[in-house]
Amino acid sequence: MVASSNGRAAVLVDGCRIPFQRSGTGYVDLSAYDMARMVLKGLFTRTGFDAAEVERVIMGCVVQNVETSNVAREAALAAGVPNHVPAFTVTMACISSNQAVTSGVDLIRGGIADVVVAGGTETLSDPPIQVKRSVRKRLFKAQKAKSPGDYLQLLKGLRPSDVVPEAPSIAEFSTGEVMGESADKLAAMFDVSREEQDEYGLLTHKRSAEAQADGRLQKELVPASPPPDFEPINSDNTIRADSTMEKLSSLSPVFVKPFGTVTAGNSSPLTDGASATLLMSEDRTRAEGFEPIGYLRDYVYVAQDPGDELLLGPAYAIPKLLNKAGLSIADIDVFELHEAFAGQVLAVLAALRSESFARNNLNQSNPAGEIPMDKLNTRGGSVSLGHPFGATGARLVTTAANRLHEEDGELALLSACAAGGQGVAMLIERA
Amino acid sequence: MSEVSFSIDTEELRITVDDGVATIWIDQPDKRINTISHDTLDAIEQALNAIDQEPQVRATVFISGKKDSFIAGADINMLKELKDPSDVRALTFRAHDLLQRVKDSPKPSVAAINGACMGGGLEMTLGCDYRIATTHSKTKMALPEVQLGILPSGGGTQYLPRLVGIQQALQMMLTGKNIYPKKAKRIGLVDALIHPPGLHQAAQRAALQLADGDLKPDRSLKSLTDRLLESNPYSRKIIYTKALERTEKETKGNYPAPAKIVDAVRTGMEEGLEAGIRREAELQSELLFTSESKALVSLFFAKQEADKNPYADEARPVQRIAVLGAGLMGAGIAQVSSVNGVDSLLKDQSFEMASRGRKQIWKNLSKEVDKGIRSQFERDQILERVQPVDSYDDLHAADVVIEAVPEDLDLKRQVIAHLEEVVSPECVIASNTSALPITEIAEGAKHPQRFIGMHYFSPVPKMPLLEIITTEQTNETTLATAYAAGIKQGKTVVVVNDGPGFYTTRILALYMNEALLLLDEGASFEKVDEAMEKWGFPMGPFELFDLVGIDVGAKITDVMESRIPDDAFQISRIAERLAAQGLAGQKTKKGFYTYSGEGTSLDKEEANDGIYDVIASSGQASFASSMVQERLGLMMVNQAVACLDDGILKNVTDGDLAAVFGLGYPPFQGGPFRYVDTEGAASIVGRLEQLERKHGPRFAPARGLLELAERCGSFHA
């Protein structure tokens, strides 16, 4: 395997998340900052690690609240991380907390830090609502208004429709395309049928339900008891254990009507949640007496055309990383793939085994190959567990590493797509 | 910096000069804070003389050389040295002259305030032409003299109403409450606000502008209604009358200072400054030698002393406190820990129950957020320091564990056994109980030397006292560490030896029992409550029963009865009977009174006369309120002395402090021991003997009282 470098290899000591909740449910009164401080405090409590020893806190977050735009810093302070520990927030759409983790890996490998906390947080229950640009301009001028006459002048020409606020949509800025439409289009490009998508959706929910029942998910959770009622939240409420093909096939498409194939049943739901990992240099881990879960060996990021290949990042990132490490799919024991949509996952799998995709898009003669379903997302994925944009990446890292122990493997590969046509793949070795 | 130099002979302050502005830096040597003593007054006088004679200086700035503290008030030791009323008048006139001197100086002056600016310190700034305060969280202004039973006599009763208006001034002087920067600006107590680093320069600029005539502060009252009300003698009269009425209602006539403050203000505003100044000095010379003031001053010193850990060198660090039981008490203990920066683990049987304790903390803190006392962020930060847990294993890293599980000996012993398995060998294990003897709880403990009692008072965030109970086996490190934990939690700590009900519960329980006996004899509980409020308690014994829970009261009686060897005590069964009827007090919204509202802040509605049927008593028998006060008051006082006799109390100061801060014993009396000193031991013995003849041996004077009466001594030096 990749040689470790003088004790500066980055290891995952532990990772956790607060239970993921469908937006508008358990965390409806919380902001991303609230969830982030909860998960950070949970991580410190669970590991018993002294927050004063942390050298950097990095959090991913996508839908930013202007009050806490560096949410990592505010959450770290609230969670009891001392003032002297710098914190920053990264954003890279759905792979924001992958970026948080790999930034931590870079700091550790580069000898800049020995201990980094990396994670992510997201609420989709409370997206920031904007008033229209024309009104914002008036409001800006209003700061300088003094007399009643000034205010009257500002109101002149204002129509009632101007003051209707605008909620952000999950659409590409550069193309205007809603993400669900892209997924629908991608599934069609790779001939993924509605039925196949529903079957995958069913499978992933079933796997999550099993993992929830047998305690595999529980190990990664720190319970939350959010204000104002402080009712404890101990498990994910996104999993539909009672789903059936009949139910799934009866759902109407939501993005491309009436003939599209992407439905609420085969998509990841809008979700609130937060995740965190404790990363250390190998030497420091030994000195502290921690038993790490995995070595964060390598990673790649890729980017394509956000119009045609918005969610196809893994189909590029996985072969690139395997090539870089001199590995093949057969060498990997655990695959953990982000599921924005069932159709997107199946399209990526199709691309990976496609000779024409390998030739035309990757400029290589052979495709990466077939990822065996029994090694892929054995606890389900974002379709069943939910997808708080900023928090999913760190969940993938923790889960992939823990699965190596559960499933007795040596190497794990995780990959995820992101808005903007970007993607990531990471390689984790069991420790 | 300065080419101008002054020959002043003092270490109290130094003077620098910049661009025509002299700055007087008050910076007393070897002291953390500045106070006003004779030396300070001398020094300021010298400085003013020097500055007046220096033609290059056009204006003056007063500022403190201390970090985050302006002037904390008069040096209380100086006040203690005043021997008779003429001394008081002399000192007061001296302060007045100095203030007038600052005011009359042709060179304008600016007070630059950062940190606490209290009492005499604030009065000094009233002589200046302009005041600037910083927005620092430690900056606060107050005239707290009333809390010591005296009035602000450095001109405060005269110049404050002239600056902020009569109503605001009375409010400040009658409550002694802190005024924070924003409010100070709003009411005109200061003219401008700035951040601490810019304070000195801003004050210098303001001073120059005043000298140039470019700055003319607006001195009209900020509130239009205040301006209207205070503009004519008729409505002013209403203000004084209302203030007196309110004062009378709150103090029941037990505190002489508030009425005299109103008097001084009224004289000054209606008859002129000269008359007011004389009146202020006159009234202060009367107040300073009252027993009330002496009692309050001695409490002040005792509290200051108790807020220092005498065993600090022995204490182990307290970084993490674990609390078992997330009920009202447990959550309260976790709250005061985390508010003061200590991480706390709140354990209960389930995560859900532990979370409920956290909810209580969040609600309490959210109220403070609503009032602007803290920010939302501070609330979150405090809340994250409280970790709810449901297993003993989670407590392994605690430095101090305080169990606050229900008052049941077996349960507490079980909990201790569990704890001993998980905590470190050095961890202090404490029981929070109001009556169970600590020695009995510790029986069977593997390491009784690290076991101690920590008796908190409900509601914990509001009640200032912590009574620490040691057993014969408790070692010094354990005591020191528990003390350190209490200090960290912001508590005033007293240490007592173990015994039935320790100190506070014992004297309270027998006082409450006496109230129940009165009820048995046909007294009206409302009348008894009234009498004891008049005596000076914040609430009467029956309202207190409702607050702590009649069932809890019954249980305490039970515990006490089985452990008091003396059969002199006649124990009333009323509490037990009421509790059996489901009348528990506030928690059932019905006890001696009925209550409305939700949560912890209930409103008292009316007396529950149904009580008399349950106990088969009339409530009609007439008892003189002085008789009620005598029986209840002396029962408590006599028991306090008995605690000293029995070696439960280590000294009388602890006894006074704990009674006042833990039980609401009337502060103007200074505590049970101070009360004996004021009344005379022989008189108390005589009165107790009278009660003994009439009501039986439970009133037999304590040994310590008899001895003291014998040698005509007093408890306090």
* SS3 call for B508: helix
Average of per-residue pLDDT across B329-341: 96
Query: Which pLDDT score is estimated for B1?
Result: 46
Mean residue pLDDT of chain A comes to 93
pLDDT-based confidence at residue B600 (cuts at 50, 70, 90): low
Cα-based distances in Å from A227 to A128, B6, B353, B361: 20, 62, 14, 11
Is the pLDDT at B650 greater than 50? The verdict is yes
List of chain A residues whose C-beta atoms are within 8 Å of the C-beta of residue B394? 45
pLDDT tens digits, A355-375: 999 999 999 999 999 999 999
Contact A232 B397 (CB under 8 A): no
pLDDT given for residue A3 in this prediction: 47
The beta-carbon neighbor of A230 closest among B355, B377, B397 is B355
Give the pLDDT confidence score for residue A5 in this predicted structure. Answer: 57
Query: One-letter amino acid identity for A318?
Result: I
> What average pLDDT is seen over chain B?
93
CB-based contact (8 Å) between B356 and chain A? Answer: yes
pLDDT band for position A1 (50/70/90)? very low
A135 at B interface, C-beta within 8 A = no
Band (pLDDT 50/70/90 cuts) for residue B566 is low
Which of A31, A40, A230 to probe by mutation at the B interface, max B CB count within 10 Å? A230
Under DSSP, the state recorded for B109 is E
Mean pLDDT of B691-701: 95
Give the tokens for residue A111.
């000898």
Predicted confidence at residue B565, as pLDDT, reads 67
Per-residue pLDDT at B564: 74
Dist CA B595 CA B585 (whole Å)? 8
**Residue bearing the bigger pLDDT, B558 or A246:** A246
Please report residues of A whose CB lies closer than 8 A to that of B362.
Answer: 227-228, 230
d(CA B566, CA B569) in angstroms, rounded, equals: 7
Structural tokens at position A116: 């980094």
Q: In angstroms, rounded to a whole number, what is the distance separating the alpha carbons of residues A427 and B185?
A: 61
CA–CA distance, B297 with B445 (Å, rounded to integer):
43
Cα A332 from Cα A409, distance rounded (Å): 8
Interface predicted TM-score (ipTM) of this complex, two decimals: 0.83
Least confident of B76-80, B146-150, B607-611, B680-684: B76-80
Is a pLDDT exceeding 80 seen at residue A187?
yes
Using H for helix, E for strand and C for coil, what is the string for chain A? CCCCCCCCCEEEEEEEECCCEECCCCCCCCCHHHHHHHHHHHHHHHHCCCHHHCCEEEEECCCCCHHHCCHHHHHHHHCCCCCCCCEEEECECECHHHHHHHHHHHHHHCCCCCEEEEEEEECCCCCCCECCHHHHHHHHHHCCCCCHHHHHHHHCCCCHHHHCCECCCCECCCCCCEHHHHHHHHHHHCCCCHHHHHHHHHHHHHHHHHHHHCCCCHHHECCECCCCCCCCECCCCCCCCCCCHHHHHCCCECCCCCCCCCEHHHECCEEEEEEEEEEEEHHHHHHHCCCCCEEEEEEEEEECCCCCCCCCHHHHHHHHHHHHHCCCHHHCCEEEECCCEHHHHHHHHHHHHCHHHHHHHCCCCCCCCCCCHHHECECECHHHHCECHHHHHHHHHHHHHHHHHHCCCCEEEEEEEECCCEEEEEEEEEC
Domain boundaries, chain A: 10-127+268-430
The DSSP output letter for B67 is T
The predicted pLDDT at position A105 comes to 98
CB contact under 8 A, A38 and B381: no
Handedness of CA B236, B240, B241, B243 (dihedral sign): positive
* Banded pLDDT at B373 (limits 50, 70, 90): confident
Angle among Cα B267, B268, B273 to the nearest 5 degrees reads 140
**Domain A10-127+268-430 indexed as CATH 2.30.30.100:** no
How does pLDDT run across B43-75, given as a tens digit for each residue? Answer: 999 999 999 999 999 999 999 999 999 999 998
Confidence of residue B558 (pLDDT cuts 50, 70, 90): confident
Does the structure show a pLDDT above 70 at A2?
A: no
Radius of gyration, alpha carbons of chain A: 22
Element at B345 (helix H, strand E): strand B343-347
- Residues A149-158 pLDDT 10s: 887 877 787 7
A–B: how many Cβ contacts below 8 A?
Answer: 46
CA dihedral A25, A26, A31, A35 (to 10 degrees): -140
Residue the block writes with tokens 């900023």: A390
Average pLDDT in the B19-37 region?
A: 94
Instruction: Output the pLDDT for position A339.
Output: 97
Tens-place pLDDT, residues B281-291: 999 999 999 99
Two tokens, residue B182: 């924003």
Per-residue model confidence (pLDDT) at position A323: 96
At B428-477, the pLDDT tens digits run 999 999 889 999 999 989 999 999 999 999 899 999 999 999 999 999 99
* Percent above pLDDT 90 for chain B: 83
Go through B460-487 and write b for each residue having 16 or more CB atoms within 10 A of its CB, e for each that does not: bbebbbbbbbbbebbbebbbbbbbbbbb
Domains and CATH numbers, chain B: 13-289 (3.90.226.10), 312-489 (3.40.50.720), 505-710 (1.10.1040.50)
Number of residues written out for chain A: 431
Strand pairing category for B21-26 and B59-64: parallel
Q: How far apart are CA A30 and CA A28, in angstroms?
A: 6
- Residue A74 forms contact with B (CB below 8 Å): yes
Residue A167: per-residue pLDDT: 66
The whole-number average pLDDT for the span A122-151 is: 80
Judge: B377–A74 Cβ closer than 8 Å, yes or no.
Answer: yes
At residue A140 the predicted structure's pLDDT band, cuts being 50, 70 and 90, is: confident
**Residue among B358, B385, B387 whose CB faces A230 most closely:** B358
pLDDT tier for residue B2 given thresholds of 50, 70 and 90: very low
- Strand partners of residue A422: A303, A418
Confidence at residue A134, expressed as pLDDT on a 0 to 100 scale? 79
Q: Is A234 on the interface with B (CB under 8 A)?
A: yes
Secondary element (H or E) of residue B642: helix B625-645
Would the CB atoms of B380 and A225 count as touching at under 8 Å? no
Q: Is B457 on the interface with A (CB under 8 A)?
A: no
Mean pLDDT of B250-269: 95
Minimum distance, in Å, between the CA of residue A382 and any CA atom of chain B: 27
Which burial class, exposed, middle or buried, applies to B446 when counting CB atoms under 10 A from its CB (0-12, 13-18, 19+)? exposed
Q: Is A130 on the interface with B (CB under 8 A)?
A: no
A417 is catalytic: yes
**Among A89-93, B556-560, B598-602, B701-705, which stretch is predicted with the lowest mean pLDDT?**
B598-602
Instruction: Tell me the pLDDT tens digit for each residue of A26-66.
Output: 999 999 999 999 999 999 999 989 999 999 999 999 998 98
